[in-house]
Amino acid sequence: MPKELVGLIYGYIDIETRLSLLFNNTHENILQYIPHMPINLLIKMWKRNIHDKIFTDDDCNSICCTFDNLLPSTNYLYNDTNYSIRHPIYETLQNHVKLNTYNMSYGSEFGRKWYMRTKISSFIAFIPSIYTFHDIFDYRIRKVLFRFIQLLMKPIRKIKADREAAYIARIERLHRLKFKRKIFPKLFTAVRKHQRKRVAQIKLDEKAKKAELKRIKLAEKEELKQIKLAQKQIKIAEKAEKDKLKQIKLAQKLENAEQKMPNKTNELKPIKLNIIS
């Protein structure tokens, strides 16, 4: 939602409701983180946004209230003298707003922080309880408290963010320390075991691979041997077939020769007789 629209909506909300909404979200944060704020910043914010908004140092011995004209004073006549008394609420305000000089000057830093915390807590509880039945005064005094709380929340948010960041950094540091002392040794041991198992598995795989290569080589060698043996048997068979054919041809040749030889041997040549007469 745009800031302009938020401001317009807040303009229709009365100051009592604004304070109640603001207290519901920030009251515990204010009281919790005030001791962690720089004391000089607290005093400066208090003087500028509370003291100077309500009172003005007229001189060294008196404090004039800027709200004097908002509430009627009490006038009376005594011994022909006209007296005017301010509204009693101004004195009560002065007691709640004015800082104790001794505590601010001579207290320790821790003591001054807790004094300011008590002062702010008392002021936060006191202002909403004021009802003078003058709407302008009641509105303006509550507006001073409202603006002060809004301004006070700016450094508180920064302190809260820094503390959360420091808490997260501390948790991360503890986790790293725990990891380094407890988890890392176990993890390192597990990694070493895994590496040893992996190395052993790699060796087994290499051994199995070598055995497989050896088996393949032996199978190839046996297959080559079988091929050579088959080729040799084929050659022997071919040679035997050739020898058989050669024998058959030789037998046929001999048979043909035997068939031709009797005709030559059995044929009788005529004998020529020479008769002498």
* Rounded (to 5) percent helix, strand, coil in the chain: 80, 5, 15
Q: Identify the band that residue 23 occupies on the pLDDT scale cut at 50, 70 and 90.
A: confident
Distance, CA of 49 to CA of 141 (rounded, Å):
12
Q: pLDDT tens, 57-106?
A: 655 455 667 787 788 888 888 887 888 888 888 888 888 888 888 777 77
DSSP string computed for 36-89: GS-HHHHHHHHIIIIIHHHEEE-SSS-EEETTGGGSPPEEEEETTEEEEE--HH
> Dihedrals φ, ψ of 83, to 5°?
-115, 145
Q: Identify the band that residue 275 occupies on the pLDDT scale cut at 50, 70 and 90.
A: low
pLDDT at position 273 is 53
State yes or no: pLDDT of 170 exceeds 90: yes
**Mean model confidence pLDDT for the chain:** 82
Structure tokens at 113: 């922080």
pLDDT at position 99 is 85
> Dihedrals φ, ψ of 74, to 5°?
-95, 120
Structure tokens at 8: 């317009």
Percent of the chain with pLDDT over 90: 9
pLDDT, mean of residues 269-277: 54
Cα three-residue angle 52-58-64, rounded to 5 degrees:
65
> Dihedrals φ, ψ of 4, to 5°?
-60, -40
Q: Residue 251 corresponds to which amino acid?
A: A
Residue 186 CB partners (closer than 8 Å, separation 6+): none
Q: pLDDT tens, 37-46?
A: 888 888 889 9
pLDDT, mean of residues 163-182: 89
Residue 45 CB partners (closer than 8 Å, separation 6+): 148, 151, 152
State yes or no: pLDDT of 169 exceeds 90: yes
pLDDT at position 165 is 92
- Beta carbons within 10 angstroms of residue 93's beta carbon: 21
pLDDT at position 171 is 93
Q: Which of 67-76, 88-97, 109-118, 262-271 has the lowest mean pLDDT?
A: 262-271
Is 0.75 surpassed by the pTM of this model?
no
State yes or no: pLDDT of 256 exceeds 90: no
Q: Which position has the token pair 């986790």?
A: 175
Q: Identify the band that residue 167 occupies on the pLDDT scale cut at 50, 70 and 90.
A: very high
pLDDT, mean of residues 48-53: 87
Residue (of 38, 65, 37) closest to 51 by Cα position: 65
- Beta carbons within 10 angstroms of residue 242's beta carbon: 10
pLDDT, mean of residues 143-172: 89
CB–CB of 41/168 below 8 Å? no
CA dihedral 197, 200, 205, 208 (to 10 degrees): -140
CB–CB of 28/115 below 8 Å? no
Using only the alpha carbons of the chain, give its radius of gyration.
62
